């Protein structure tokens, strides 16, 4: 399987790097930048939710924190979001550390509801905080460049982020800590008995899984030039992260890439055809069907297919 996938992936990456210089319409640059952002976000969610099975429904909290950090830093101190985005990630990671220590002891739905409430709490806080603009939100100056260059800058920023997060996930998957997470997902009690430091492993995954959305949020705020509590802490984004990772294949580094590509491009196309609320209905139904039919996502489905095919080839040649 990898004999086909690896050159295809290299080719795709090469195409993507040169794409903005081929003179496409600005819309397509913007579209792909959005896709890279989604890949980075879905992969970040995957770092915790996919590998450990701790489903966070409030990951948008970390995204929003990053967005507000860079907005405040740019407007009040005049520092470019490209410099302060890691700071937003750091604050998000710190919050994850504080929240994670007690809440990762909670299993199953308890953890999910805690993270969901955290997102509401952050939204309520943003609505009522004067330095953060309250319900009016914050208007940011845009990059002092022509629109095509601006879009290209964000295109590469999100591309770089996506590559870094994917690389991180892939590296982690093949490391000792990745094995620890896998053990936790299979049976946490057994993993603990076998000597896996479960608290440490989960915390590490949660912190990294919160850091990246913080960075992404910081760049996103600069890109759209206006944030308010609704857009920065949009529960729909939490849903999308989960959906994309699950759809592609949670717990596999390639899953969120495939999932984000399919779901994002599908939703962009659907939004031309049907009203946006029906769009969401379709995604709810897709999530249900995915869990029913391919609980390991497209990648898991493909792997199973490939294994069967290989077995069939062996049998035929014998």
Partner 1 sequence: MNVLSFPLLARAVVSGVLFGGIYAAIALGLGLVWGVMRILNIGHAALAILGAYLSLTLVQAGMDPLLSLLVTIPALYLVGVGLQRFVVESMHGRKEAELHTFLILYGIMVAIENLQVFIWSADVRLISTAYSSQNLNFLGLILPVGRVISFVMAAAAVATVYLFLTRTKMGRAVRAIASDREAATLMGISVRRLSRVAFGLGTATAAVAGLSLGLVSSFFPGIQIVWVSKAFLVIVLGGVDNILGLFLAALVLGMAENVIGVVAPAFVVDFVAYVLLIGTLMVRPQGLMRRAGP
Q: Which residues of this protein are in contact with partner 1, per CB under 8 A?
A: 53, 55, 57, 99, 102-103, 105-106, 108-110, 112-114, 116-118, 120-121, 124-125, 127-128, 235, 239, 242, 246, 275, 277-281, 283-288, 291-292, 295
- For partner 1, the closer of residues 31 and 106 by Cβ is 106
CA pair distance 244, 38, nearest whole angstrom: 8
Shortest CB 59 distance to partner 1, Å: 14
- For partner 1, the closer of residues 163 and 235 by Cβ is 235
Instruction: Calculate the dihedral angle through the C-alpha atoms of 208, 210, 214, 216, rounding to the nearest 10 degrees.
Output: 70
- For partner 1, the closer of residues 159 and 242 by Cβ is 242
Backbone angles phi, psi at 314, to 5 degrees: -60, -45
Let me know if 239 is exposed, middle or buried by CB neighbors in 10 A (0-12, 13-18, 19+).
Answer: middle
Q: Which of 112, 131, 136, 152 is nearest to 25 (CA)?
A: 152
- For partner 1, the closer of residues 10 and 289 by Cβ is 289
Shortest CB 101 distance to partner 1, Å: 9
CA pair distance 66, 89, nearest whole angstrom: 6
Shortest CB 267 distance to partner 1, Å: 13
- For partner 1, the closer of residues 5 and 274 by Cβ is 274
Shortest CB 232 distance to partner 1, Å: 17
Shortest CB 51 distance to partner 1, Å: 13
């Amino acid at each position: 399987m990898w004999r086909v996938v690896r050159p295809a992936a290299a080719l795709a990456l090469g195409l993507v790097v040169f794409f903005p210089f081929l003179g496409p319409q600005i819309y397509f640059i913007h579209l792909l930048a959005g896709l890279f952002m989604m890949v980075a976000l879905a992969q970040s969610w995957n770092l915790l939710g996919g590998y450990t099975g701790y489903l966070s429904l409030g990951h948008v909290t970390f995204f929003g924190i990053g967005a507000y950090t860079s907005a405040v830093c740019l407007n009040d101190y005049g520092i470019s979001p490209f410099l302060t985005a890691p700071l937003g990630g750091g604050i998000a990671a710190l919050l994850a550390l504080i929240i994670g220590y007690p809440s990762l002891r909670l299993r199953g739905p308890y953890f999910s509801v805690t993270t969901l409430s955290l997102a509401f709490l952050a939204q309520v806080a943003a609505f009522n905080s004067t330095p953060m603009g309250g319900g009016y939100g914050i208007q940011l100056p845009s990059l002092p460049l022509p629109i095509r260059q601006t879009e290209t800058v964000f295109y590469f920023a999100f591309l770089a982020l996506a590559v870094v997060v994917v690389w991180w996930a892939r590296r982690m998957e093949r490391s000792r800590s990745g094995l620890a997470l896998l053990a936790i997902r299979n049976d946490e009690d057994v993993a603990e008995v076998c000597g896996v430091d479960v608290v440490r492993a989960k915390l590490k995954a949660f912190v990294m899984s919160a850091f990246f959305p913080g960075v992404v949020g910081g760049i996103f705020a600069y890109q759209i030039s206006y944030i308010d509590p609704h857009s920065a802490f949009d529960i729909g984004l939490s849903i999308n992260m989960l959906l994309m990772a699950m759809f592609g294949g949670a717990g596999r580094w390639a899953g969120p890439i495939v999932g984000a590509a399919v779901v994002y491009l599908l939703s962009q196309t659907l939004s031309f055809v049907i009203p946006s609320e029906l769009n969401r209905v379709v995604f709810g139904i897709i999530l249900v069907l995915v869990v029913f039919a391919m609980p390991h996502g497209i990648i898991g489905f493909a792997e199973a297919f490939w294994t069967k095919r290989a077995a069939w080839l062996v049998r035929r040649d014998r």
